[in-house]
Structure 1
Amino acid sequence: MTEQTIQLADGNTMPLVGFGTYLINTQELMDQSIKTAFDAAIAYLIPLSFTVTKTFWARR
């Protein structure tokens, strides 16, 4: 399976990710879905933040 992405106005790409939360019918499943989504976002954003910071300081 290939990762689906969308191209942003600045030329970068962003992965399209969906967690299917509209079918959740219990608080336990909702809590787990939110935790999973948060963990995935953190796993994606932390390396990205290092890249942005490195780029910022390289321009100084």
Structure 2
Amino acid sequence: MQKRRKITEVVTASTGNHGSAVAYAAAALSLRWTVLLPKSPNRTKRARTADLGAAIMEPGKN
């Protein structure tokens, strides 16, 4: 029988809504998460994702 590895981190690419949803779910499951955003993300969606505790990566800034 194979031993399962525990998931500890989630990484996703998003323009906003998907990233916020993943951030919300990851927070509920006590996981670390990173969201890759486009070069000029919507400020409101970026802020919402950051407020949920996501590590955010943007082109040219990381």
Q: Could you say whether these structures have the same fold, taking a TM-score greater than 0.5 normalized by the shorter chain as the test?
A: no
- TM-score, normalisation: structure 1: 0.36
Compute the TM-score of the two structures, normalised by the length of structure 2.
Answer: 0.35
Q: For CA contacts below 8 A with separation 6 or more, give which structure has more relative contact order.
A: 2
Query: Could you say which structure has the larger radius of gyration?
Result: 1
Structure with more helix by fraction: 1
